[in-house]
Structure 1
């Protein structure tokens, strides 16, 4: 596949532009910080994006094996789910790869008439977006479960402190 070879040759430029587009979703000061600070603890968002984008991109070029690509995608989507991105905003970065590829390879695609290969690759990106959406929803469900459990625990604690509820174990001890 000629397109694949071009995508590999231009991986550094494509990965960098893709990262820039991903960071455009953040305020300018945050995007600048994410690019500059490489410490995983001081900047987990930037660290993850900087570390994952290129391997993620290379795995995508090899095919769309959900088991292989999901870990890369999960680490990126998990951040976006925690940051309260809407579902469309959270997975939009996947689609932005199409734009980056078209801009970076416009001349080569036109000269070599790689439109059919590009459409096939676009389909792969579309499938990737669906996988990303599934991961996003799993993360959001987990976040909501954690929030519900926390509220339930707080209510239980408040009721217990107000002596409106007691543990079964306490009642058993009192009867003995």
Structure 2
């Protein structure tokens, strides 16, 4: 049985373990809620996380490439970017997949070791894409905060009468 077939056969077990590990990176009360609440409207973070991990496993099993992985990573990393995670904590769930797969697909022989090397490279590629997405999201957040602060500052100056906006239809223009 090939590694791809083995992954497909054990997908639900791997997904369950990966979701558990990912959710456990949150504080205990939050993790308990994310695992326990099954209603997608009451628990959109848990649902988005589960769906992202499911799509990532599909992309990994089919060798879909970086674009498919980035598309699946985006929702979970957007959520983690607005939370109090450090970059390493926010992306660590990707690396945990290596141990989870090895736990569910133990002792497969030397040919499988070669396949696992390729799988490890794909997971490393997934981790690099995850870090890029996380950093882009954080940059956008900082940009939005800076723009908001600038607008508040100039709005305060304008209300205080310390600056006057130039007319757009000024003479000679």
Same fold (TM over 0.5): yes
Larger mean CA deviation between 75-84 and 47-56 belongs to 47-56
Note if contact 1:14-1:104 (Cα within 8 Å) is conserved in structure 2. Answer: yes
Partner residue, 1:163: 161
Larger mean CA deviation between 42-51 and 135-144 belongs to 42-51
User: Aligned to 2:167, what secondary structure does the other structure show?
Assistant: helix
Partner residue, 2:93: 93
Partner residue, 1:7: 7
Whole-Å Cα distance in 2 between the matches of residues 42 and 89 of structure 1?
Answer: 25
Whole-Å Cα distance in 1 between the matches of residues 61 and 82 of structure 2?
Answer: 28
Q: 1:84 Cα shift?
A: 3.0
RMSD of aligned C-alpha atoms?
2.0
Partner residue, 1:32: 32
Instruction: Output the TM-score relative to the length of structure 1.
Output: 0.88
C-alpha spacing 1:8/1:85, structure 2 compared with 1 (3 Å): same
Instruction: Output the TM-score relative to the length of structure 2.
Output: 0.89
Whole-Å Cα distance in 2 between the matches of residues 130 and 64 of structure 1?
Answer: 16
Structure 1: any 5+ residue segments left out of the alignment? Answer: none
Structure 2: any 5+ residue segments left out of the alignment? Answer: none
Question: More helix per residue: 1 or 2?
Answer: 1
